[in-house]
Amino acid sequence: MSQGKQKHYIKPQVKNTLRSKLNAGQTELELGDTINSSKQKRSSNNIAKEREKVDNITPVKQGNFRDSNVDIDIGSIGDFDIESVPRNACMLWIASRRSGKSHGCQHFLEVYTKKHKTDGIFLFSLTNAGFPGIPSVYRYKNLDMLEELISVQIKVKKHNQKAKKKDKISSSIIIILDDMVGGNCYTGQMRKNPILNKLFVNGRHLSSDCGSSNMMVILISQVFIALSPQIRLNTDYLFTTKTASRKERENMVNTFLSLNSGRRGLAESYEVFDSIVNKAEFNWLVVHCTAQNKKIFSDYCFNFKAPNTLENRRLVGDNEDWINNRKEIYW
C-alpha cells in the first residue's frame, strides 16, 4: 500500500433499474404478496375515489361541456321586455350569416318605437340590406356621417342643460351599425375605429338628464371576436341565436353568460344557451350584461322570439322621405 492512501470498503449497491422493477412486479404477482416500496403510494381508497371521478365524467362534445348532473329550470327564464330597454342602451346582435339578425332587430324596433318616440333611426350598412322600415335618406354605406351625428347630440345636450322646459329640443335617435366589419373581420372599421370604441365606452353620457335627447346604439355582426374589447365589455345587452362557430359560442358564453366558476358553472351556462337558441326559429337569447345582483340565470337571461312575418311598417321618416325613397344596392 502506498503511503497516504487507504483502501475503503465499498458496499455493493442494488441498481434500481427498469428491469429490476419489472422483476419485482412479476414476483409480487406470482407470490400474491405485497412488496413494500420506499416511495409513498396512494391508498386504495384514494385510487377508488379517483376512478369514481373518472367514471362520472361525461365526454365533451362540440365544446359545449355537457354535464349529466346539470339541472337548470329553463322555464324560469322569462320573455324579454323590450320596453324596459333604456333609450341610451348599447347592444350587440351576434349570429351567423342568414340567421335572421336584421329580421330580429326589425321586430325589436317595431315594438320599441310604439311606446318610445324616436326622432331618427340611422342605418350604417356595407350592403344596405334589410330594415324595410328605414328609408334611403337615413341609410349610409360608411361611417363618415357618424361623427356628425354625435356632434349634433352633444350640441343638443348642452342646449337642453341651459334651456327652459318649453325650449328644450327632442333628439332621441337610434344608430344601427349593420355588419360594418365586412370582409376585413379582424382589421375592419368596428375593431379599429376610435369613434365606435368611444361610443360604447362613453355613449351613454350623450344623453341629457331630462330625457329629451338620447342615443341608442345597435351593433350587428357575424363575428363576436372581431369586435374590440372596449365594445364587447361595455355593451348593455347581447342578442344571440344559433351560431355555427364553436369558438364564437365559447367566447360569448365565457364573456357574458357564466354565472359560476368551474366546470359545472360552464356546463350550466351552455345548457341555458343551447336550450333557448334551439327552441324555435328566430328565437334569441338576450343577456342583460349590466344587470345588478345576478344570482340565478333568470335575473339576467331572457327569451326573445321574433315572428316569422314582420309588420314591415315605417319606423322613421315623413311622407316626403318615403316618396323619394330609393333602394340602392351596395357592393
pLDDT for 37 beyond 50: no
Answer yes or no: is pLDDT of 62 > 90: no
Averaged pLDDT score across all residues of the chain: 78
User: Which amino acid is present at 300?
Assistant: Y
DSSP 101-124: HHHHHHHHHHHHHHHS--SEEEEE
Residue 316's pLDDT is: 94
138: confidence class by pLDDT, cuts 50, 70, 90: very high
Domain boundaries defined on the chain: 74-323
The residue that leads in pLDDT, 148 or 44, is 148
Q: At what angle do helices 146-162 and 194-202 cross, to 10 degrees?
A: 30
Evaluate if residue 59 carries a pLDDT over 50.
no
Q: If you average pLDDT over each of 36-40, 135-139, 166-170, which comes out highest?
A: 135-139
* Strand-pair partners of 171: 213
CA-to-CA distance for 225 and 55, rounded, in angstroms? 35
pLDDT-based confidence at residue 199 (cuts at 50, 70, 90): confident
- State mean pLDDT over 166-185: 80
- Flag whether pLDDT at 25 surpasses 60: no
Q: Give me the pLDDT at residue 11, please.
A: 47
Q: Higher model confidence: residue 312 or residue 208?
A: 312
Q: Residue 230 above 60 pLDDT?
A: yes
Q: Which of 286, 323, 289 is nearest to 78 (CA)?
A: 286
Reading the block at residue 301, the C-alpha cell is 337571461
Q: How far apart are the first and last CA of the chain?
A: 100
Indicate if the pLDDT at residue 122 is higher than 90: yes
DSSP letter at 205?
G
The superfamily (CATH) of domain 74-323 is: P-loop containing nucleotide triphosphate hydrolases (3.40.50.300)
The per-residue pLDDT for 47 is 47
* Mean pLDDT calculated for residue range 144-163: 89
Would the pLDDT of 290 be above 70?
A: yes
Return the minimum-mean-pLDDT range out of 36-50, 112-126, 161-175: 36-50
Higher local confidence (pLDDT), 280 or 46 = 280
pLDDT at 20: 47
3-state helix, strand, coil in the chain (%, to 5): 40, 15, 45
Q: Is the pLDDT of residue 319 over 70?
A: yes
Q: How many angstroms from the chain centroid is the CA of residue 154?
A: 30
Q: Where residue 181 falls among pLDDT bands split at 50, 70, 90? A: low
pTM value is 0.75
Per-residue pLDDT at 136 exceeds 80: yes
pLDDT band at 209 (very low <50, low <70, confident <90, very high): low
Q: Which amino acid is present at 168?
A: K
Residues 283, 162: Cα–Cα separation, whole Å: 45
Instruction: State percent of the chain over pLDDT 90.
Output: 34
Over residues 66-99, the pLDDT tens digits come to 444 555 677 789 999 999 999 999 999 999 888 8
How sure is the predictor about 217, in pLDDT bands with cuts at 50, 70 and 90? very high
In this prediction, residue 45 has a pLDDT band, given cuts at 50, 70 and 90, of: low
Residue with cell 338620447: 214
**Predicted confidence (pLDDT) at residue 24 exceeds the cutoff of 70:** no
Of the candidates 49, 55, 69, the one whose C-alpha atom is nearest the C-alpha of residue 267 is 69
